[in-house]
Structure 1
């Protein structure tokens, strides 16, 4: 793992961030669609943010992004059990307030999707190099 800047991953992370902000504001009344898709996209956003500054195997970066989502979910669970409440409304939207196993499923789906896209990109890149060699 080494530090380096990846412009496409950074641009994609900005686009995902805009979509997440729109989901959190405009999609406030969309119920489970907003929350589930937001959680899927959140893990993808974390992956892209990490991939924009760190060169590492996609499996590692996806695992870190998924683990971060699970850590947030665990923090929500512990906070609800100990009666801790985040008072800042913006942070409550960003971090969530209610633990749910469906969120963990959404994080896993986001990690699998972004890992699949990364693997597909690597496959296409190798195929292009092989075709050029012919």
Structure 2
């Protein structure tokens, strides 16, 4: 991957991070925070990994999806309490505290969006 591409992924990761922080701090609704935030977090993780690695698009996309599923599964097993981190707000925000099938759906949608965007980028280069 070209250094320019890595910089672009890095910039996008920073933008997505800022959006996620704004959502977490200032938005408390029934759509953007619980659904759009979960779709965007997949893009954030994906762009971060793409900015610092040289793995293929599909490898990073699938890895990101699996990682998000594992975090959600850990929430099901109440990993925050198991690790004794319930007193730390940052841990509750980053890891999450409750399992939701809707989160799995949102992560899957984020994964599909990533593949769609990357496929469009490849088609535009040809």
Equivalent-residue separation in structure 1 for 2:67 and 2:88 (angstroms): 21
Aligned: 1:13 with 2:25 = no
Counterpart residue number, 2:99: 99
Q: TM-score, normalised by structure 2?
A: 0.88
**Larger radius of gyration, structure 1 or 2?**
1
Per-residue deviation, residues 23-67 of structure 1 (Å, max 9, x unmatched):
00011x213431111111111101000111122221111101111
- Aligned residue pair count: 122
Per-residue deviation, residues 112-133 of structure 1 (Å, max 9, x unmatched):
101111111111012xxxxxxx
CA contact 2:78–2:98 (8 Å) conserved in 1: no
Counterpart residue number, 1:76: 75
Counterpart residue number, 1:132: none
Counterpart residue number, 2:43: 44
Matches within 5 A, 1:51-62: 51-62=50-61
Equivalent-residue separation in structure 1 for 2:95 and 2:116 (angstroms): 26
Structure 1 residues 83, 92: closer, same or farther in 2, change over 3 A? closer
Counterpart residue number, 1:130: none
Equivalent-residue separation in structure 1 for 2:20 and 2:106 (angstroms): 14
